[in-house]
Chain A
Amino acid sequence: MPRTHFKHYLQSMQEELLVLGSMVEKALARSMEALVNRDIALAEQVIADDKLIDKKRYDIEETCIELIATQQPLARDLRLIVAVLSIVVDMERIGDYAEGNAKIAIMIGDEPPLKPLVDLPRMSKKAGEMLRAALDAFIRRDADAARQVVIEDDEIDNLYDQVFRELLTYMAADPATINRATRLIWTAHNLERAGDRITNICERTIFVIVGRAEKYRGLK
């Protein structure tokens, strides 16, 4: 194969992307675990680890810039590198949402629970699964799988609406719950945003494969 050296770097860039993906997935899962179990130490760990996620993002960006500057990528290779540049931003942001939820877990501290958390862990679990599926579709260059993940984002959106309505009911019924309910609404909102970011990743995947952007947000 010609340009083995360049292809090798493209390959390892994508491996780094997967590493970043697993870091973000872990942050999502652990921030929810911290919320559910009231585990402040774990929440603090998620916040500390976010620095590593940021660093990984910048490392990958640097590699992309270097490849553009030195290797003259064209056609699909160029689309791939441009896509990675945008995907790392989305992933870093998902990491920030996880960090945000970890901060909320610390804010909540040992306040008495408003209600047992059911839908929020479901949203978080769904987001983690979607993230993994989105990256898998990207690595396999599977446009259909990417489109499927976009469709699944509806599930997160529906859960968000449900959580939101439920928490509104609490607040309307008892103003003393407003603070606690608001925090949970933030949490749900963070997860809903994470789902949108995953949708972006899928759009980028489709861009790499078919060569043009297919926009999904707004169609919904």
Chain B
Amino acid sequence: MDTCPQTENAQGQNPNGNHILITKNLNAYYGSFLAVRDVNMAIAPNSITAIIGPSGCGKSTLIRCFNRMHEVAHGARVTGQLLLDGEDIYGTGIDPVSVRTRIGMVFQKPNPFPTMSVIDNVVAGLKLSRIWSRRRKMEEIAERCLRQAALWDEVKDKLKQSGTSLSGGQQQRLCIARALAVKPEVILMDEPCSALDPIATLKIEDLMHTLAKDFTIVIVTHNMQQAGRVSDATAFMMMGDDRAGQLVEYGATKQIFTNPKDKRTEDYISGLFG
């Protein structure tokens, strides 16, 4: 299996290396509370990176920093750098909204817009980001995204029905299609399968492998087995004594799962805590 990205450079020391997303000394605060401390990661393009760790260790907080969603919470702020294609998305003059079209997000609970049809849900992001144009064009884009999200065959006869009329797994793929519509470079997923049954989960996992051909994926998952199944690289986070979440170990998934270097990773992976 030679599909693992170059994750040795987990310290982010090589900004010119083949990495689409690099974090440098990233800290995330809620008010004065340091929720995530000093994260350094370097993510290869077209890879799938899983972030695992016990509840409350800051996984969601970390990926919300990746597309400037963190600062939306009251009193929340970020220090450090996050380079997307070499450019700091926290740099001055960068519009958070444009960051979010380049780095999309799929959430734990499928959240299609309830009043919108399937097709309108897919292109909703385009409307929001004001790239909206002709109706025909929209339909083309919707079909392309629904196909990419492996949902087209199941919904092609109910495009005008409400998005919420679909099954949970279908709704989640609809949300993925919606994220794809704005042509992001990176897709963040925060526990995208936790509300789904095992079959729907495996469908999403298969879909992730397909999507990784065109996108870079970062997934937060509570399900360690899922991290093993889908990801090329794994980041293990834990809360320190000061309750700040930190990156304990970050490397190729096969290394983390067969031969972790840190005792805490070993204990977590083998189910001794968490």
Chain A contact residues, CB within 8 Å of chain B = 2-6, 9, 63, 65-66, 69-72
State which size class the interface on B falls in.
10 to 19
Query: In the complex, what distance in Å separates the CA atom of A191 from the CA atom of B229?
Result: 42
Which one of B17-25, B154-162, B179-187, B251-259 is at the interface?
B251-259
A66 lies within 8 A of B229 (CB)? no
Instruction: List residues of B (219-272) whose CB comes within 8 Å of A's CBs.
Output: 225, 228-230, 253-254, 257-258
Binds A, one of B57-65, B72-80, B117-125, B201-209: B201-209
Give 8 nearest A-B pairs by CB, closest first: A70-B228, A69-B257, A66-B254, A5-B209, A2-B202, A69-B258, A70-B257, A72-B225
Closest chain B residue, CB of each to CB of A65: B258
Chain B residues near A69 (CB-CB < 8 A): 228, 254, 257-258
Let me know if B131 is at the binding interface, CB within 8 A: no
Closest to B201 in A: A2
Cα A72 to Cα B228 with chains together (Å) = 9
Interchain CB contact under 8 A, B206 and A3: yes
B206 touches A4 (CB 8 A): yes
Residues in B with CB closer than 8 Å to A63 are: 1
Which residues of chain A have C-beta atoms less than 8 A from B254's C-beta? 66, 69-70
In the complex, what's the smallest C-beta–C-beta distance from A27 to chain B, in angstroms? Answer: 26
A contact residues around B1 at 8 Å (CB): 9, 63, 66
Interchain CB contact under 8 A, B229 and A71 = yes
Q: Which residues of the partner chain B approach A3 to less than 8 Å between Cβ atoms?
A: 202, 205-206, 229
B229 x A6 contact (CB < 8 A): yes
Chain A residues with CB under 8 Å of B229's CB are: 3, 5-6, 70-72
Give me 11 other A-B pairs in contact (C-beta within 8 A), A5-B205, A5-B206, A9-B1 excluded. Answer: A2-B199, A2-B202, A2-B203, A3-B202, A3-B229, A66-B258, A69-B254, A70-B229, A71-B228, A72-B225, A72-B229
Contacts of A66 in B (CB 8 A): 1, 254, 257-258
Nearest CB in chain A to that of B230: its residue = A5
Cα(A6)–Cα(B205), bound, Å = 11
In this complex, the member of A4, A9, A63, A70 whose beta carbon has the largest number of chain B beta carbons within 10 angstroms is A70
**Sampled A-B contacts (30; CB under 8 Å):** A2-B202, A2-B203, A2-B206, A3-B202, A3-B205, A3-B206, A3-B229, A4-B206, A5-B205, A5-B206, A5-B209, A6-B229, A63-B1, A65-B258, A66-B1, A66-B257, A66-B258, A69-B228, A69-B257, A69-B258, A70-B228, A70-B229, A70-B253, A70-B254, A70-B257, A71-B228, A71-B229, A72-B225, A72-B228, A72-B229
Interface of B is mostly: helix
A contact face: mostly helix, strand, loop, or mixed: helix
Residues of chain B within 8 A (CB-CB) of A4 are: 206, 209
Kindly report which residue of chain B lies nearest to residue A1, judged by CB atoms.
Answer: B206
Interface string of B187-211 (1 = CB under 8 A from A): 0000000000001001101100100
Give Cα A6–Cα B225 distance, bound, in whole angstroms. 13
Enumerate chain A residues within 8 angstroms of B258, measured Cβ to Cβ. Answer: 65-66, 69
Question: With A and B bound together, what is the CA distance between A70 and B1 in angstroms?
Answer: 12
* Residues of chain B lying within 8 A (CB to CB) of residue A5: 205-206, 209, 229-230
Docked complex Cα distance between A66 and B203 (Å): 22
State A69–B202 Cα separation when bound (angstroms): 17
Chain B, Cβ-Cβ closest to A13: B1
What is the minimal beta-carbon distance from B269 to any residue of chain A, in angstroms?
A: 9
Smallest CB–CB gap between A72 and chain B, Å? 5
Measured in the bound complex, the distance between the Cα atoms of B253 and A2 in whole Å is 21
B210: nearest residue on chain A (CB-CB)?
A4
Which of B1, B199, B257, B258 gathers the greatest number of chain A CB atoms within 10 Å? Answer: B1
A4–B205 alpha-carbon span in the complex (Å): 10
C-alpha gap A4/B209 in the complex (Å): 9
- Complex CA–CA separation, A2 to B201 (angstroms): 10
When C-beta atoms are compared, the residue in chain B nearest to A71 turns out to be B229
Instruction: List chain A residues, Cβ under 8 A from B225.
Output: 72
Residues of B within 8 A of A70 (CB): 228-229, 253-254, 257
* A145→B230 CA distance, assembly (Å): 36
CB proximity of B229 to chain A, nearest CB, Å: 6
CB distance from B39 to the nearest CB of A (A): 24
- How distant is A63 from chain B, measured CB to nearest CB, in Å? 6
Q: Which residues of A contact B199 (CB under 8 A)?
A: 2
A65 partner residues in chain B, CB cutoff 8 A: 258
